[in-house]
Structure 1
Amino acid sequence: MLSTYRDCLSSPHAKYLFATNLLGRLPQGMAPLAIALYLRSQHLGFGTVGVITALYGLSMAVGGPLLGRAVDKYGQVRVLCWSAIGSGAGFLSLAWSGDGGIGVAAPSAILAGLLSPPLEPSLRALWPSVLRDRRALGAAYALDASLQEVIFMAGPLLVVLVSSLADPTAGLVVTTAAMIAGTLGFVLPEPVQAWRAEPRHPDWAGPLRSGRFRRLLVSMLFVGGSLGALNISSVVYQEHVGNAGMSGILLGVNAAGALLGGLYYGARQWRISPPRQLTLLLAGMAVCYLPMALVPPPVVAGVLVFCAGLFLSPVLACAFTIIGELAPKGTATEAFAWMITAILAGNALGSSSAGWAGQHFGLWASFLVLGIAGIASTLVFAPLLQNTAQPRAGLEAAEETGL
């Protein structure tokens, strides 16, 4: 089973690209906590801290597709380097803002998020030119999705460690250093220097002109919604059972399941098509989330969220593969960036929905949002099964109709 990953990582530059790209993406797991801890150290209220941290996340969601389109147009090196410098300037401006208040902190956070280098979509757009074998390409997507969980586990821990050894300002500085060092390292190899997108159809919509791609994005929006709902529901559940660490346990076992599920998925060769795989994976995740509405005891809840996590990374890896097939020529990086934006937007919607449901109806309703989001993601994507298997040329011709 591990031979698939050996083949993937034995390709020239593969290990180096993974390592530098993940280092540059480490701020995805570090920045929200680093920003919050720094702002609290400046005696800003929790409401203000929440608003500024949200502005950072929303700015990333807006900037991702714009920078992705720039990468498709100008290449990876120029856009990644300049955006890393701009985002780093935003972080450092925040770190040096002192007690300047929200008038200084908010623009700095927006700048840091808006110009966050699109390393994640750039790597995924790069893999087809580095890995010619389709099976190795699928393994790379799965490994990428699994290692993403490591970023979100290791990032906050690193921020806490740095802040405790020095101060919260150091957390922002280390976040900036990781992003710039990883980005500069990533752009050095020849495949990154030489990468160019295919000639694209000149229109403002880019990959969004594909009706099938838009449907996939809506499905991923609901996947993000389930993740956001789990974040809030786990806190509500923690208060329900009276265990101060329960939310962290639930989120941790979900991440562990995602890590293991992604590694297993990428190591196997599947006989069914990626669209059918994704439909089954989405349905499996929904089935695991639905029983949470019964408010099970902690052990059962842990098993359910772990099993849901087993489907999460495969869902993302499979979606990466489908995006590579659906995205119109010359729009690959922007298309991958749109997927990240959809998940971020869904995360915010899921968090707010689960919080509202929990406040007005109780814990069961907060958990029910998880299952509803999972079912919705499956129902939205399922109609693509009859169309996605068309040859690429047929797909591109069909996109002109907006179907």
Structure 2
Amino acid sequence: MAAGYAEILRARHAMRLLSGTLVGRLPNATAAIAIVLFVRDEGGTYSLAGALAAVYGVANAVGQPLLGRLVDLRGQPRVQLPAAVLSALAMTAFALVGTGSLVAAYAAVAAAGLCTPPLEGGLRALWPSVLPRADQVHVAYAMDAIAQEVMFTVGPLLVTVCVSLWSAQAALVVLNVVGVLGALSVVMSAPSRTWRSAPREAHWLGALRSPGLLALLSAFLFVGLALGSITVAGVSYGDEHGGDAVYGWMMAALGLGALVGGTVYGARQWSGAPERRLRGLVALLALFYAPLALMPGPVAMVALSALAGVFLAPCIACAFIVVDRHAPQGTVTEAFSWLVTTFTVGGSVGTAVAGPVVEWGG
């Protein structure tokens, strides 16, 4: 099972690009959790926490395809690193201002989300230049999805550890500084510095002129909504069943389940159209999410969270292949960034709706 992954990691630059992107995306991956915990520590309501997390997510959704298009046009270093620095500065400002001034708080999280560098799309655009064979690129997509789940497993625990050792404010600052270092590692690598997008047809819609891509994005909006709702609802569940530790283990279990599912999925070669396979995977993802509504005790809830995550990474890995197949020439970074955007918009809607629902009905 591990042979295919080992072959990818032995490729020159692969480990650096994967790990750098992983670290660079840490602030974005943990932003919703860190914002919710920070607002709670500031004495804010769940509705305010959900609203701020949603603003960050919406701004991120707007910024990803715009920055992705800039990467396609201008190259990675000129866009990725400045964006990472600006995003970190904005989130640091939010940590310092707090919720005392709501205008400043909303402006800071919006700026942080808007400037988040499109490292995900950038990495997927780099894989074909680093790996010589198409089958290796497909395995790399699966490994990429698995690596994300490692981050989603470790990230929530890292946030709660930072909060317990220092404070939610310190967690926001530290995670964003680490993220800038990750982005720096990526853009200083040879593949990132030399990569250039294929010639593109001038069109104001860019990647969105592909009907197949639009269909995929429409589906993943709802996958993001499910994940976003758990971010806020899980905090409420944790408050009633053991506190932040339970919440952290729930979020980590989701990532762990996806890690296991993604590892198994990426270890074999799949035949047939990836579009058909993706429909089946998304259906299974929905089926495994449904038992979370039972809300049993903490141990069972953590176990159900792990099961809920099993088909997440396979869905994402398969979606990468579909994006690659349907992206118009010269728009690959933008196309991958649109997938991130759609996922983020869904997540933002989920967090925004879950806050008032939790306060109204538990």
* Same fold, TM-score > 0.5, yes or no: yes
| Shift in CA distance, 129/154, structure 1 to aligned 2, threshold 3 Å | same
1:190 is aligned to 2:190: yes
Partner residue in 1 for 2:59: 59
| Shift in CA distance, 91/9, structure 1 to aligned 2, threshold 3 Å | same
| Shift in CA distance, 221/107, structure 1 to aligned 2, threshold 3 Å | same
1:89 is aligned to 2:104: no
Superposed counterparts of 1:29-68, under 5 Å: 29-39=29-39, 47-68=47-68
1:166 & 1:233 partners in 2: Cα distance?
Answer: 24
Amino acid at match of 2:212: R
Amino acid at match of 1:348: S
Query: Could you tell which deviates more after superposition, 141-150 or 296-305?
Result: 296-305
Superposed counterparts of 1:137-286, under 5 Å: 137-231=137-231, 243-244=241-242, 250-286=250-286
2:133 & 2:80 partners in 1: Cα distance?
Answer: 27
Partner residue in 2 for 1:328: 328
Structure 1 residues 7-41: Cα deviation after superposition (integer angstroms, max 9, x where no partner): 11111100111111111111123333444455555
| Shift in CA distance, 235/85, structure 1 to aligned 2, threshold 3 Å | closer
| Shift in CA distance, 347/291, structure 1 to aligned 2, threshold 3 Å | same
Superposed counterparts of 1:283-322, under 5 Å: 283-290=283-290, 295=294, 305-322=305-322
Partner residue in 2 for 1:398: none
Amino acid at match of 1:122: G
Between 1 and 2, higher relative CO (CA 8 Å, sep ≥ 6) is seen in 2
1:308 & 1:47 partners in 2: Cα distance?
Answer: 25
CA deviation after TM superposition for structure 1 residue 278, in Å: 1.1
1:108 is aligned to 2:108: yes
CA deviation after TM superposition for structure 1 residue 292, in Å: 5.8
Amino acid at match of 2:141: Y
Amino acid at match of 2:112: A
1:243 & 1:181 partners in 2: Cα distance?
Answer: 36
* Structure whose alpha-carbon radius of gyration is higher: 1
Q: How many residues align?
A: 359
CA deviation after TM superposition for structure 1 residue 271, in Å: 2.3
2:81 & 2:23 partners in 1: Cα distance?
Answer: 14
2:358 & 2:48 partners in 1: Cα distance?
Answer: 23
Amino acid at match of 2:116: S
Structure 2 counterpart SS, 1:310? coil
2:155 & 2:85 partners in 1: Cα distance?
Answer: 20
Partner residue in 1 for 2:348: 348
Percent identical among aligned pairs is 41
| Shift in CA distance, 349/268, structure 1 to aligned 2, threshold 3 Å | same
Q: Please tell me whether the aligned partners of residues 28 and 152 of structure 1 are also in contact (alpha carbons under 8 angstroms).
A: no
Superposition CA RMSD, Å: 3.0
Structure 1 residues 274-307: Cα deviation after superposition (integer angstroms, max 9, x where no partner): 22221221222233345666x4866877665544
Query: Which runs of 5 or more residues in structure 2 are unaligned?
Result: none
| Shift in CA distance, 249/95, structure 1 to aligned 2, threshold 3 Å | closer
CA deviation after TM superposition for structure 1 residue 80, in Å: 0.5
1:5 is aligned to 2:5: yes
CA deviation after TM superposition for structure 1 residue 218, in Å: 0.5
TM-score by length of 2: 0.87
Query: Could you tell which deviates more after superposition, 252-261 or 34-43?
Result: 34-43
CA deviation after TM superposition for structure 1 residue 243, in Å: 3.9
CA deviation after TM superposition for structure 1 residue 155, in Å: 2.5
| Shift in CA distance, 250/174, structure 1 to aligned 2, threshold 3 Å | closer
Structure 2 counterpart SS, 1:151? helix
